[in-house]
Amino acid sequence: MSRRRPSLMDILEEDQVSPSPTSSEPPVAAAAPAPTPVAVAPVEPPKSKKSDYIRLSITVPPDMFERLQAISLKRRREKQPYTFCHLARQAMLEWLYQQDKDSQ
């Protein structure tokens, strides 16, 4: 098994944890994380490294693809996340939330 290549985020985190020996400034302490609010509606999970994701392939009918394309273009103009994978994750997140809500 080959060694995983470190991401830029990994490198930046290493720099924050262990400052270079030539630095004369003391390391800056990380701010305490804010308490997470209780979500009443589905909220996209925080972004994580691409290597943490599991890849899925799906097929959709042409009419659904056209609708997704229109939504994607609209969101792109509004400077919102617009990729098909983002739209699919958001839709699945809302569907899973609804399933959890219905099972209670």
User: CA 28, 34, 80 angle in degrees (round to 5)?
Assistant: 100
d(CA 15, CA 24): 14
DSSP letter for each residue of 29-46: PPPPPPPPPPPSS--PPP
Q: What is the pLDDT along the chain (104 residues), one digit of tens a residue?
A: 567 777 777 777 777 775 555 555 555 555 666 665 555 556 666 666 777 888 889 999 999 999 999 999 999 999 988 899 899 999 999 999 999 988 88
pLDDT at 59: 93
pLDDT at 1: 54
User: In the chain, how long is the greatest CA-to-CA distance?
Assistant: 61
pLDDT at 75: 92
This model's pTM is above 0.75: no
Break the chain into its structural domains and give their ranges.
Answer: 52-104
d(CA 27, CA 76): 39
